[in-house]
A = this chain, B = another copy of it.
Amino acid sequence: MALYDTLFSQLDITSAQLLVTDNDFRDKDFRNQLSETVKSLLALKVIPIFNENDAVSTRRAPYEDSSGIFWDNDSLAALLALELKADLLVLLSDVEGLYSGPPSDPKSKLIHTYIKERHQGEITFGDKSRVGRGGMTAKVKAAVYAADAGIPVVITSGYAAENIIKVLQGECIGTLFHHDAHLWAAVREVGAREMAIAARESSRRLQAMSSHDRKKILLDIADALEANEKLINTENEADILAAQQAGYEKSLIARLALKPGKISSLANSVRVLANMEDPIGCILKKTELADGLVLEKTSSPLGVLLIVFESRPEALVQIASLAIRSGNGLLLKGGKEANRSNAILHKIITGAIPDSVGKKVVGLVTSREEIPDLLKLDDVIDLVIPRGSNKLVSQIKNSTKIPVLGHADGICHVYIDKSANMDMAKQIVLDAKVDYPAACNAMETLLVHKDLILTEGVNELIVDLRIEGVTLYGGPRASTLLNIPEARSFHHEYNSLACTVEIVDDVYAAINHIHQHGSAHTDCVIAEDLEVAEVFLHQVDSAAVFHNASTRFCDGARFGLGAEVGISTSRIHARGPVGVEGLLTTRWILRGCGQVVNGDKGLVYTHKDLTN
């Protein structure tokens, strides 16, 4: 109490100790009086601090068996919450909240919302030694008691001072107990977890279908999109209006709008996917291991994908059809600015999925779950595909253990060798920078061989860039020689009509510059000297490396991959522009006739390649 008193007095707040015993609560007058006392104290801005009056309490251990009205601080708190008709009861623990198993076990998950019907009996509370007064069992018992009586309860950690404030601000921390929790259809991450599990189950039925039936689903989706064009446009216009009224940025609203003709072009791209060769179950490799023992490496769906996208409702259609084509389950999490567009598109798409698969194969996360909660579901989601700003991609990459397909930076270089055809160099550089400056495959840095500086060709190129409205910044060498302002950093993506220029000694210096400052996305050499070109092509360690062609070619459609999932700068799984293949993994299928290993005695391995 002295400590409470001291700490509160630091804040100029007075506190008052109220000592109670079990027996007091048996007295109705006391209970009436108690409420009045607390009300008066609060009116005076005095914080009441309750405790059991141990000195006069007559109860003895074991407290659990006692028939008392309360038997520890947790049950006292629950009792007081009821008596005082509290709005919220916060129970502080030494762990973040209630876990599905012992908190020290990495497999245990924090339960955000406790649902008696689901969690009772499922949860193991860890060391029995902590079960006594104040342990988690006692807290849950008290919390369930108060919640049943209509008082919401949050169990959270008492170690972080800001936790109580966070709870009051409605942040999703700790474990919430609420009388109506079982009625909430999609309860925070519990909802998304169940959606992911249901999507996996449905996707397995989708995989078990014939290729023809999967194709039919996509054709039905295409038809349904066209049949409902008016409805989709109405909902989309409602989103746009709301976004305008909310004062969103113009660029966001532009990305939100489904332009005229968009629905039929989306429907057509779904039909293209429907008609492509079935990507599931392709035999990638076939080997005879021994007589009558044949191994196949086959393509197979990844499992469950999570797409996080901003604005662009068409991304929902593209990704959902890619997921169905590749036999994957899918969770969609769109931005709230596109709520109505996403909802109608999701309804139309799942409406075309037969009951034998189940609509849950594509789930739209509409509950209050925030992205960070979804990113914690690494045990039920196999891949995250962010579709949005570099910032969104970076944030997601930095905050999840789920593999992420995508790229944060696109710092693409063009190196003009001294052997370059300068007319070609001009055309490529202008295209790489000007064709679509906001694209990730646009040129951000131009590296020029030192012998070309102050030649007519480079001077003309610089004039041409300026005519196109490109602002130039120089590295230390170029800024002096070309008299342009110095770039703040070589690792910079302008995403606009601006670029960095620097002078390098030769192709090796260019390669070093790219390795040191680039983002391993797309880099290009312009050279007539084929030896120089091959050195560049073989040594630049980027997802895409080009000779005498614009960096803008780095794109799924231009690469002929069909629908594009995204461009990956990750080295694991898929790299560069990614089509359907990025949504597939492999399975090994072995067919035998009773072969056993038996210490590798007896069986003669042939390892004969039977591919094709």
Contact = CB atoms under 8 A, between A and B. Distances in A.
Contact of A587 (B427, B432, B544): B544
Count chain B CB atoms within 10 A of each CB in A289, A431, A559, A576 and give the residue with the most: A559
A515 B380 CA distance: 13
A106 B398 contact: yes
B571 A302 contact: yes
A92 interface: no
Interface stretch (A132-140, A172-180, A546-554): A546-554
A592 interface: yes
A549 B595 contact: yes
Given A559-B287, A571-B303, A598 B281 contact: no
Interface stretch (A23-31, A148-156, A535-543): A535-543
Contact of A542 (B542, B552, B587): B587
Interface in A84-131: 106
Interface string A578-607: 000000011111111111111110000101
A554 B588 contact: yes
A539 B594 contact: no
A395 B105 CA distance: 11
Given A431-B596, A553-B597, A597-B558, A591 B547 contact: yes
A585 B575 contact: yes
Interface string A285-300: 0010100010100001
A474 interface: no
A545 interface: yes
A594 B421 contact: yes
A495 interface: no
Contacts of A515: 204
A403 B436 CA distance: 33
A295 B559 contact: yes
Interface in A313-340: none
Contact of A428 (B3, B293, B594): B594
A394 interface: yes
Contact of A545 (B403, B553, B588): B588
A547 B590 contact: yes
A515 to B, nearest CB: 7
Interface residues of A, number: 78
A571 B403 CA distance: 10
A412 to B, nearest CB: 13
Contacts of A281: 538
Given A547-B592, A560-B289, A585 B572 contact: yes
Contacts of A519: none
A208 interface: yes
B208 A539 contact: yes
Contact of A549 (B2, B542, B594): B594
Nearest to A297: B576
B208 A550 contact: no
Interface in A376-405: 382-383, 394-395, 398, 401, 403
Given A545-B587, A575-B585, A552 B597 contact: yes
A307 to B, nearest CB: 16
B558 A289 contact: yes
Given A208-B538, A289-B558, A587-B543, A592 B548 contact: yes
B435 A548 contact: no
Count chain B CB atoms within 10 A of each CB in A106, A424, A538 and give the residue with the most: A538
A422 to B, nearest CB: 11
A554 B592 CA distance: 13
Interface string A555-581: 000111000000000011101110000
A546 B592 contact: yes
A596 B552 contact: yes
A10 interface: yes
Given A435-B599, A576-B587, A588-B577, A594 B287 contact: no
A501 to B, nearest CB: 19
Given A204-B515, A587-B542, A596 B554 contact: no
Given A2-B6, A287-B560, A539 B207 contact: yes
5 closest A-B pairs by beta carbon, nearest first, are A549-B592, A431-B596, A560-B607, A552-B597, A424-B594
Interface of A: 2-3, 6-7, 10, 106, 204, 207-208, 281, 287, 289, 293, 295, 300, 302-303, 382-383, 394-395, 398, 401, 403, 421, 424, 427-428, 430-432, 435-436, 515, 533, 537-539, 541-550, 552-554, 558-560, 571-573, 575-577, 585-600, 605, 607
Given A208-B539, A547-B590, 5 more contacts: A281-B538, A401-B401, A549-B590, A549-B593, A549-B596
23 contacts: A3-B6, A6-B6, A106-B395, A204-B515, A207-B541, A208-B538, A281-B538, A295-B559, A382-B572, A421-B594, A424-B593, A427-B596, A435-B596, A436-B599, A544-B589, A544-B590, A545-B590, A547-B591, A548-B593, A550-B595, A553-B590, A572-B572, A575-B587
